[in-house]
Amino acid sequence: MEPLVMYLLKANVVMSILFLFYLLLLKNDKSFTQNRFYLLFSLVLSMFLPLLPELSSPHFEPIQRQITTANPLNDLYTTIGNSQIVTHPVNNAYVAVNQGFTRPSLMQILAGAYLLISTVLLARSIIKVLKISIMIKNTNKQFIDGIYYCTFDGTAPFSFFNYLVINKELFTDSELRQIIAHENVHIRQLHSIDILFVELVHAILWINPLLLYLKRCIKLNHEYIVDHEVINSGVDKKNYQLSILYNSLKTNQVYQLTNLYSSSKIKLRIKMMNLKKSPNANAYKYAFVLLLVAASYFLINPLNASVLPKNVIGTTQGLKKFEGYYELKGKNGALIQIIAIGKSVVLKQLWDNRKIDFTATGPLTFSTKENVSFTLQFTSDNAGHITQVLAFGKDVWVKNDNYHLPVEVKLIAQDLKKFEGYYELKGQKGTFIQISSAGNGLVLKQLWDNEQIDFAAKSPLDFFAKTNPGFTLQFTSDNAGGITQVLAFGKDVWVRSNNYHAPVEVKLTAQELKKFEGKYEFTEKEGTFIQITSIGNGLVLNQLWDNKQIGFAATGPLDFFAKTAPGFTLQFTGNNSGGITQVLAFGKDVWKKVN
């Protein structure tokens, strides 16, 4: 949704700048035709200028465009025993059932509400056009010189494309001639297209309060154009002014999206008729339009060039002071590395090795254009040394000058064997990892999704993930040298379980499996459902919020485990008559059977 929000913001900025220029310098000029095209040009430019690509300096060489769109720690090691992850298809993955759905962000909710209002406004405009079309269809028509003259009772005179609607009985012959001359100008100059176009733009940029005033200015300028044309055709100015004033009082039923003969703002129209023609010298004002367009472009698309603002660091040497390792405050082992390359700095996330390049926006501030909310604000001490960096305006990463990438040490196969076994997350019953030795290191297997992570030793009891040095394991042994537990990330305690055995599948008959079929609702989140069906010798759980499926095998008459993730268990409860009433997932999430 972020690109949509940025587009709407830029479009509104451009429209506001161009329209304010009109109000300040062009509004009171009698250059009506030029003003008409300027106002329409402002709307077109507002829609398309934000879509133009940014100008880039040839010296700017992005390292990598991949970027995290949320707190980088979201991608760190996750203790999944609390069943908070929703991913993966049934054939090779685990799916945590109690998530239900991904809660939309505030930005998504606001963008959805904006689009809903735009849809309503667009639908309203379409309904108005249909009403006018139906009304015209029900009139008596005469086709003369490319114009349909429609007779209809009870409405003010108006034109819509090449249809002129009028109640002839309300006007004298001289008034009719003036009205027809007036509306003929609207029809010849296709003013109805202008009105429909501005309605479309209003449906998109409705949040800008200036747009309502711009719509009125476009309609009023139409009347200025027509008044000017009619008077220049030889019609007496005073009689014409009295005619539009008189007829504005005669009728009050009007149709929107049309050109009205007796429109509002009569006083302004008469004032403009009596105003002297703008001198040709005033044409210089329109020469500023190109400069205004260029300024608007660079305002919404700042130049990403080698010409940097004053005091902004533009050399690799100047960026060197930012280099180093930074640790997330309060999260031991969560590390990023800052590297200076060319005229940018690169942030490397050590947990997944992703790189994000940033450009300087100030002496201590950096941004990445792919995500405007991802900024870096460095802090320095009195001596000018960098001490920390603030990411996203909220995450504090403290510079760790003592950190060095871990150095792998070699342990013999016999030493590695003692770490093998199953470990249960403390406080999360049923959440297991399996550790086995392979080659010169260990392999950690997450039993909830079967993901495997390779670790190398940095000491007899300490290990680090080869692809993520910040992911550490610190084993604890008893007096006899036996391993009792492991500390992951310096905070998550996994206790060794010598009694754990991989579940053994038992066979249930098709009739026995049938009773588990049905729809179940999560007790802690109303409206979140799963569907369980029996297939072959087991069950299939279908998450109805995303249609992900998980296959289960039985370990007992009422107990099942996920075939691809044995740590994902289902424990059914039956009533006295043998019917199933609920199922317990992960030993803690209760789902009530609803049918």
pLDDT tens digits, 323-381: 999 998 877 677 899 999 988 899 998 877 789 999 998 889 999 877 777 899 999 99
465 DSSP β-pair partners: 455, 468
Q: Does domain 316-400 have CATH number 3.30.1330?
A: no
- Name the range with the highest mean pLDDT among 152-156, 242-246, 431-435: 431-435
Where does the chain hold its CATH 2.40.128.210 domain(s)? 510-594
Model confidence pLDDT, tens digit, residues 236-256: 898 888 888 877 766 555 566
Per-residue pLDDT tens over the stretch 258-291: 665 555 578 888 889 988 876 665 667 877 888 8
CA distance 345 to 335: 16
Q: pLDDT tens-digit profile of 111-122?
A: 889 999 999 999
92, pLDDT greater than 50: no
Return the pLDDT at 394: 87
Q: Write the CATH number of the domain with boundaries 413-497.
A: 2.40.128
d(CA 8, CA 3): 9
pLDDT digits 0-9 by tens, 501-523 = 888 899 999 999 999 999 999 99
Q: What is the pLDDT of residue 306?
A: 41
Spatial distance between the Cα atoms of 6 and 50, rounded to a whole number of angstroms: 9
Find tokens 């390792």 and name the residue: 325
Question: Residue 311 pLDDT more than 70?
Answer: no
How distant, in Å, are the alpha carbons of 164, 191, 340, 413, 538 from that of 261?
Answer: 10, 13, 68, 96, 77
E runs forming strands in 58-161: 140-144, 147-151, 158-160
pTM (predicted TM-score)? 0.50
Check whether 63 has a pLDDT greater than 60. no
pLDDT at 58 over 80: no
Residue 137 has pLDDT above 80, yes or no: yes
Q: What is the CATH number of domain 510-594?
A: 2.40.128.210
Instruction: For 240-312, list the strands marked E by DSSP.
Output: 259-260
Q: What is the pLDDT of residue 192?
A: 95
Please tell me the predicted confidence (pLDDT) of residue 249.
Answer: 67
Structure tokens, 573: 């409860």
pLDDT level of residue 82 (50, 70, 90 thresholds):
very low
What is the per-residue pLDDT across 455-494, written as a single tens digit (0 to 9) for each? 999 999 999 998 888 789 999 999 999 999 999 988 889 9
Confidence of residue 214 (pLDDT cuts 50, 70, 90): very high
Long-range (24+ apart) CB contacts under 8 A made by 383-392 are 384/321, 385/321, 386/321, 386/322, 386/324, 388/326, 388/329, 389/322, 389/326, 389/338, 391/72, 392/71
Angle among Cα 417, 423, 429 to the nearest 5 degrees reads: 165
What would the two tokens of residue 117 be? 């209002």
Rounded to an integer, the average pLDDT of 2-19 is 88
Contact 285, 26 (CB under 8 A): yes
Q: Is 196 in contact with 256 (CB distance < 8 Å)?
A: no
